[in-house]
Structure 1
Amino acid sequence: MLKQVLRFNKKYNLFSMGNRILLACSGGPDSLCMVHIFLRLAVKFDLKLFVAHVEHGIRGASSIDDADFVKDFCHNHNIPFYLCNVDACGYAQQRKISLELAARELRYRFLYDMSKKLNCDSIAVAHNRRDQVETVLMHFVRGAGAPGLSGMQPKSNGIIRPLLNCSRTAIERYCQNHELLPRHDITNEELVYTRNNIRLKLLPLLHEYNPNIEMSVVRSAVLIKDMNDFVVEYATKVYEQCTINQTDRISINITTLKQQHIAIQREIVRMAVTRLHTGSKDIESVHIEAALSLIEQARTGSQINLPHGVIIKVEYDKLIVTSVVVINVQEISPLKLSIPGELNLAGGKNRIIAEKISFNKVAADRNECYVDIGKLQVPLFVRFRKNGDFFYPRGMNGRKKLKDLFIDNKIPREKRDKIPLVCDAGGIVWVAGIQQDNRYIPTAATVDFVKLTII
C-alpha cells in the first residue's frame, strides 16, 4: 500500500521534499492508516508532520475517548498534536443547517486555521476510494453538473488526499498488518445521514448489478473531470470576451453567450456566480438551467434568486449576475440640503453640492444643473425614490413617472434606489445626474440661481 501511495503522489505531486503537512486524524481506520504511512515517509522526504483532531461534541464520552486516543498515538510517535473542541449541534441550530454540514464546516475551519498558524504546505485528509464513490453518487442524486460528478480531487484548495485511490479493504488490511487499533465511530452506521444511506443501502444494491461498481464510478468521475477541464479552459477564454466585471455585478453579453455551445453557456454562468460569490458549493445544475432559461425569454426585468443572495436577471441585451442588496427607500429619511451646502450619500460614493450664484450657465453635462432660486420652496432636501413618484421633465410638456424615466434611460433596477432626488416642498427639482424638472428652469427674468452638482 505504501508503494500505491507513492505512485499516487508522483502522479499528482501531492507532497515533496521538506514539506510541512497537517494530518487530519479522527482516530478511525482511514486517518490512522494515513498518519502511519506518513510516519514511514517522513524520513525519506524530510517531512515535518502535525496532527489535528476535532472533537465535535456529538457522541459524548465516546467522542472524548477518540480525542484521547489520537493524542496518545501522537505522543507515542512523537508527533505534535492539536485538538479543537466544538459544539456542532449548537452551530447547526444557529446556522439552520444539517449536523453533517455543521461538523464539516467547523472541522475545515479549524484545519485551515491551524495550517496557516503552523505554516504548512498542505492539509492531508484520509478520503479513500469508497468515499469518492459515495461523493459522486451523492452529487448524482442531487442533480449536480460536471464539477460535482468529477468527485473529490487528489489535490485542491490546499487539501491533499493521498488515499483517494486506495480501497477501504486495503486500508483495513494495512491496519491489521501494522497492529493499528483504530476507533469505531458508531454514527457511521446511522441512516439519518445521507452519506451513510448511500454506503449502507444504495451501494450494496448497485453491487448486485455491477460487482466492480466502485471502480466503474471512479473511472467515470475521471473521464468527466477530463472533459470538464477542457470545457472550463475554453469557457474561460470566452468569458473574458463577453463579460464586464465589477465589485458586486457581472454583466454577460447575451448575444455572444447564445452563440456558444450550451455546455459553454452553462460554464460561463457558473464562472460568473463563482467569481461574484467566491465559491459555488450550493449552486447546483438546476440553478444554472434556470439562469439559461432567462436568456431564452430575453425579457428585461425577469430574474431568479440563487443561494447566498445571488440574483441573476436580464437587462436589455445583458445577463446580470449580482448580489446587490436592494435598499428599502421607504425607510430612508430625507436629508436637508442647505444653500450653500453639500451632502455625502451612500457612504461617500455620491456628493450633492448646492451653490448660490448670480449668473446663469449652460450645464456642462448631466452631473450639474441650474435652477431659479425664486421658484424654489426652500428648504431643499435629498431623498430616494418612492412608489408613484413623478416630475415634469425639462424639454417636455406634462408630467412623467419617475419609473418611466429610469426605463427610458436604461437604468438597472438595483441602481434606481440609489439615485438621489433633490426636492423641495413642490416636488422633484432634479433627478441627480439624469434630468431636471421643467418648473425650476431659469428664465431671462431670473436674478439668483442655484447650481446643483453631483460628484
Structure 2
Amino acid sequence: MEELLSHCPRWVLPGRGRPALCAVSGGLDSMCLLDLLDRWCRERDGRVVAAHFNHRLRGAEADRDETFVRDWCAAHDIAFVSSSGDVRGLMEREGLSLEEAARKLRYDFLRQEAEKLGQHIKIYTAHHADDNAETILFNLIRGTGVAGLTGMAYQQNGICRPLLDVTREELAAYAAARHIPHVEDTTNADPGAAARNFLRLEVMPRLRQINPRAVEHINDAGRRLRVADQSLEEEAARRTAHVEVQEGRVTLSRQALAEATDAVRPRMLLRLFDLLGVGRRDITAAHLQDILHLTRDTLWGRESRVDLPQGVTARYCREWLILETRPQLLTEVQLLQECPVAWGDYRITLLDHREGEGLALRPWRQGERMGLTVGPAAPGDRLVLPETHGGGRSIKRLCMDRRISLSERDRLPAVYAGGCLAAVWRLGVDMAFAAPEGEPCRFIQITEAAKERDLI
C-alpha cells in the first residue's frame, strides 16, 4: 500500500479518524483504490464508504456490477451506498453528450453522499497515470490551451485522485498480489465505442513501442505545464485585482490589457467572467479573441460591442472594456443643430443660444472641428470643475459626492466634443469647454421626459 501511495501528497489522503467516500464502479482501478483506502482508514481509526452509481446504460451488465460491489463491501465490512439515474433523459433535456450526462449525474450523486457524511469529506476517484496521459493527449487532439495540457490535479473541486502517479500495470500487479477481483465493462474493449477507447487501445500501445516510459514523460510534461499555468493565472489575478465591479458589470482599462503579455491577456478576460459571476463555461478562445479585437480595432470616440455566451455583452468605448449581463441600452448619438434627440429619460437639443435648462459650451475656436455627441459617461472619465480647484475628478467620485447612485450615473447624459468629455448633466461643464455667463455658446438643452409630458 505504502509503495502505491508513496508519491501522493499526504494532504490528499484521509486524515486520522475521518471518513472518505470512494467512487467504485467495480472495475480493476476502483476496486484497488477501495482496498487501499479501506486499509489506510482502518489504520487511522477512520472508515471508507463505497459509492456506486448505476447509469442504467448496459442492462443486465450494469446491474451485475452494482451487485458485485455491494456483495464485496458486505463481505469486507465496508459501508455501501448506491443510486441510479436517467442518463439519456438528461442528455436530451440539456443537450449534453451521453458521457457528459453520465458524468453529471454521477458526480451529483457523489457530492450528495459526501454532504451526508459531514463537512469537508473528500471524494476519491481511481484516475491513474495512464488516464492522466490519455486526458492530456485527448485535450491536445481536440484543441486546448495550456490549462488543458496540465492534466488532472491530485485534488480539484472536492475530488481527490491519489493514484495519478500509479500506472495501470502497477494496479493490475497490486490486484493480483492482494487477490482483488473486479468486473469488466465489455464496452471498454471496443475501440470503436468511444474516442477514449481508441486512444487507450490503439494509440497508447504504439506510443509505448516508441518509448516504454511514454506515460511517465507525458505526465511529467503536464506537471511542468501546471507550474507555468499557475504562474500565468497569478499574474492575471494581480493585473485584474483593482477592476471596477458592480452588479451585472465589470470594467477594465485598455491600458491594463496593453501592459500585459499576450499569454496573460486572455486569462485576464476569463477572470472578468469570474468577477461578473457567470464563470468561464462555454467561453472559447474565439470569444476571447473577439473581445481583444474590440480593444484593438475600435476607433477613438466610437463604441463597439460583441454578444457572448451566458447573456454577456462585451462593450468597448474610450479605452475601457465593459462586460455586462445587463447591456447598456443607451448608446452614443450625434447632436445636430436644432434636431432634438430622445436619449434615455431626456430630450436633448443642440442650440446656438441659452434656452431653458442645459449645459453651455464655449463656441469652437478657429481651426477646431469637433462633432458633439451624447452618450453614457465612459468609466474613468474625468471633469475639471471650479470646485475641483484645477484638478480633475472622476465621474464616479463626483457622483458619490452628490449622492448619485451607480444606476443613476449610467443614465446621465454625457456630452463629448471631438471624443473628449466636455460635460455631464447634473455635474457640470469641464472648464476647458465652459462658456462664461452672458457670452455666446453652444447650448445643450436638456429636458427630462417627465417634465416635458407635464407641459403638454
Q: Does 1:68 align with 2:83?
A: no
Residues 136, 221 of structure 1: 8 Å contact kept:
yes
| Change in CA separation of 1:410 and 1:155 when aligned onto 2, cut-off 3 Å | same
Rounded Cα–Cα distance in structure 2 between residues aligned with 1:43 and 1:97: 40
Rounded Cα–Cα distance in structure 2 between residues aligned with 1:17 and 1:159: 19
Aligned-residue identity in percent: 27
Q: Does 1:59 align with 2:58?
A: yes
Rounded Cα–Cα distance in structure 2 between residues aligned with 1:167 and 1:66: 23
Q: Which residue number corresponds to residue 170 of structure 2?
A: 170
- Which residue identity does 1:312 align to in structure 2? A
Give the drift of 1:7. Answer: 3.8
Q: 1:320 aligns with which of 322, 338, 363?
A: 322
Rounded Cα–Cα distance in structure 2 between residues aligned with 1:138 and 1:275: 30
| Change in CA separation of 1:148 and 1:439 when aligned onto 2, cut-off 3 Å | closer
Moved more, 68-77 or 189-198: 189-198
Q: Does 1:92 align with 2:91?
A: yes
Rounded Cα–Cα distance in structure 1 between residues aligned with 2:450 and 2:115: 62
Rounded Cα–Cα distance in structure 2 between residues aligned with 1:389 and 1:322: 18
- Which residue identity does 1:93 align to in structure 2? E
Gaps of 5+ in 2: 330-340, 354-370, 380-406, 413-424, 428-444
SS in 2 for 1:51: strand
Q: Which residue number corresponds to residue 430 of structure 2?
A: none
- For residues 330-356 of structure 1, the C-alpha deviation after alignment (integer angstroms, 9 at most, x for no partner) is xxxxxxxxxxxxxxxxxxxxxxxxxxx
Moved more, 285-294 or 55-64: 285-294
Give the drift of 1:144. Answer: 1.6
Q: 1:408 aligns with which of 375, 389, 392?
A: 375
Rounded Cα–Cα distance in structure 1 between residues aligned with 2:373 and 2:198: 53
- For residues 74-132 of structure 1, the C-alpha deviation after alignment (integer angstroms, 9 at most, x for no partner) is 11122221111101111111111100011011111111111112115210011001111
Give the drift of 1:293. Answer: 2.8
| Change in CA separation of 1:209 and 1:58 when aligned onto 2, cut-off 3 Å | same
Give the structure-2-normalised TM-score.
Answer: 0.71
Q: Which residue number corresponds to residue 113 of structure 1?
A: 112
Q: Which residue number corresponds to residue 233 of structure 1?
A: 234
Q: Which residue number corresponds to residue 310 of structure 2?
A: 308
Q: Which residue number corresponds to residue 385 of structure 2?
A: none
Residues 252, 320 of structure 1: 8 Å contact kept:
yes
| Change in CA separation of 1:441 and 1:283 when aligned onto 2, cut-off 3 Å | closer
Give the structure-1-normalised TM-score.
Answer: 0.71
Q: Which residue number corresponds to residue 259 of structure 1?
A: 259
Rounded Cα–Cα distance in structure 1 between residues aligned with 2:37 and 2:61: 26
- Which residue identity does 1:50 align to in structure 2? V
Q: Which residue number corresponds to residue 182 of structure 1?
A: 182
Kindly report the root-mean-square deviation, in angstroms, between the aligned alpha carbons of the 2 structures: 3.6
Give the drift of 1:182. Answer: 0.7
Q: Which residue number corresponds to residue 268 of structure 1?
A: 268
| Change in CA separation of 1:278 and 1:81 when aligned onto 2, cut-off 3 Å | farther
Q: Which residue number corresponds to residue 390 of structure 2?
A: none
- For residues 231-264 of structure 1, the C-alpha deviation after alignment (integer angstroms, 9 at most, x for no partner) is 22222121113x1122322211111211111122
Residues 346, 449 of structure 2: 8 Å contact kept:
no
After superposition, where does 1:1-12 map in structure 2 within 5 Å?
Answer: 1-10=1-10
After superposition, where does 1:116-195 map in structure 2 within 5 Å?
Answer: 116-119=115-118, 121-190=121-190, 191-195=192-196
Q: Which residue number corresponds to residue 348 of structure 2?
A: 393
Rounded Cα–Cα distance in structure 1 between residues aligned with 2:239 and 2:248: 21
Residues 2, 37 of structure 1: 8 Å contact kept:
no
Give the drift of 1:139. Answer: 1.7
SS in 2 for 1:81: strand
Rounded Cα–Cα distance in structure 1 between residues aligned with 2:376 and 2:286: 33
| Change in CA separation of 1:278 and 1:42 when aligned onto 2, cut-off 3 Å | farther
| Change in CA separation of 1:85 and 1:167 when aligned onto 2, cut-off 3 Å | same
- For residues 48-69 of structure 1, the C-alpha deviation after alignment (integer angstroms, 9 at most, x for no partner) is 2111111111111111111111
Q: Which residue number corresponds to residue 211 of structure 1?
A: 212
Give the drift of 1:14. Answer: 3.4
Gaps of 5+ in 1: 328-384, 399-403, 421-431, 443-448
- Which residue identity does 1:437 align to in structure 2? T
Rounded Cα–Cα distance in structure 2 between residues aligned with 1:405 and 1:33: 74
Rounded Cα–Cα distance in structure 2 between residues aligned with 1:438 and 1:155: 57
